């Protein structure tokens, strides 16, 4: 693999930057993504190019979204030895992934990759959900505790709003753990790589996203409360029972399908 130009820009704490450098981990990420001809790869937060350049070596074309202006020039220059790099200098939360997928008229769904900043991981995940129909899959590195929450099953102490909202729309599969020493500077926690594959829209039973989100938010708003009390602004005990749920159950005991049934039933 061609070596990239060295970067001198230090990580910026206020942007949540931790630059990956461990080659073994980088290889495992590229192997997990396994880019194929015709794929539309988009990397979120390429940083110093640790994942960017190996992906370019494999795929030859890549679009990256980078907010830090100081990284754009060295990233662009170093990429010349690896392939064709398109840089979008934007806050990822303002990027329309649906429009990006449709650029050029090929309607190819995006494959998202990224070592996400820890302080923005949940907003980025929810933003991607809004464009799930335009995304084929996502491979993200996040704090391990976040990945644990994303993939948690009912009854787990970490099963919550994030688990339900993501699993309703995606298949979530944790892949492997990444130790702090794989980054510069090392974070204070373990990280993990997760694969998310949006479900076929025909199989997603959520009839109204806003109502579903409101029900899940209120149910987990105060975890110690029963559904009867936590959802008092949404419905009464009879409506909860009509959806096949126990009013005296707590949110962490309810499977994703149960929340979907309840939200749908409240639409009338």
Closest CA to 257 of 163, 146, 173: 163
Residues, the chain: 268
Cα-only R_g, the chain: 20
Tell me what the pLDDT averaged over the chain comes to. Answer: 91
Question: Any residues with CB less than 8 A from the CB of 206 and at least 6 apart, and which?
Answer: 168, 169, 212, 260, 263, 264
Model pTM score: 0.90
Residue 90, CA atoms < 13 Å, CB-side half-sphere: 15
Provide the pLDDT for residue 105.
58
Distances (CA, A) of 267 to 148, 202, 207, 234: 32, 19, 8, 11
Residue 20 annotated as binding site: yes
Beta-bridge partners for 171 = 197
CB 110 within 8 A of CB 42: yes
How does pLDDT run across 188-247, given as a tens digit for each residue? Answer: 899 999 999 999 988 999 999 999 999 999 999 988 899 999 999 999 999 999 999 999
* pLDDT, average across residues 64-86: 93
Residue 66 annotated as binding site: yes
Residue 45 annotated as binding site: yes
Domains, in order of start, for the chain: 13-201 (3.40.50.150), 209-265 (1.10.8.100)
Closest CA to 50 of 99, 94, 6, 84: 6
Provide the pLDDT for residue 4.
38
CB 40 within 8 A of CB 101: yes
Distance between CA atoms of 266 and 235, rounded to whole angstroms? 8
CB 100 within 8 A of CB 136: no
**Which 3 state secondary structure label does DSSP give 204?**
coil
Q: State the pLDDT confidence band at 94, using cuts at 50, 70 and 90.
A: very high
């Amino acid at each position: 693999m061609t070596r990239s130009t060295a970067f001198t820009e230090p990580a910026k704490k206020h942007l949540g930057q931790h630059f990956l450098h461990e080659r073994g981990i980088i290889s495992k990420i590229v192997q997990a993504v396994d880019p194929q001809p015709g794929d539309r790869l988009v990397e979120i937060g390429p940083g110093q190019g640790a994942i960017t350049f190996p992906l370019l070596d494999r795929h030859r074309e890549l679009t990256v979204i980078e907010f830090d202006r100081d990284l754009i020039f060295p990233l662009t220059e170093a990429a010349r030895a690896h392939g064709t790099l398109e840089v979008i200098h934007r806050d990822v939360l303002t990027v329309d992934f649906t429009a990006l997928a449709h650029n050029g008229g090929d309607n190819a769904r995006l494959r998202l990759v990224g070592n996400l900043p820890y302080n923005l991981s949940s907003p980025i995940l929810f933003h991607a959900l809004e464009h799930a129909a335009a995304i084929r899959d996502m491979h993200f590195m996040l704090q391990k505790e976040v990945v644990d929450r994303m993939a948690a099953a009912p009854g787990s102490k970490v099963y919550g709003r994030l688990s339900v909202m993501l699993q309703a729309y995606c298949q979530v599969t944790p892949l492997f753990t990444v130790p702090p020493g794989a980054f510069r500077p090392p974070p204070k926690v373990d990280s993990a790589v997760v694969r998310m594959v949006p479900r076929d829209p025909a199989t997603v039973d959520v009839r109204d996203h806003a109502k579903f989100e409101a029900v899940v938010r209120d149910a987990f708003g105060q975890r110690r409360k029963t559904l009867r009390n936590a959802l008092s602004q949404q419905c009464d005990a009879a409506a909860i029972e009509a959806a096949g749920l126990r009013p005296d159950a707590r949110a962490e005991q309810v499977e994703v399908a149960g929340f979907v049934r309840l939200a749908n039933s409240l639409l009338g």
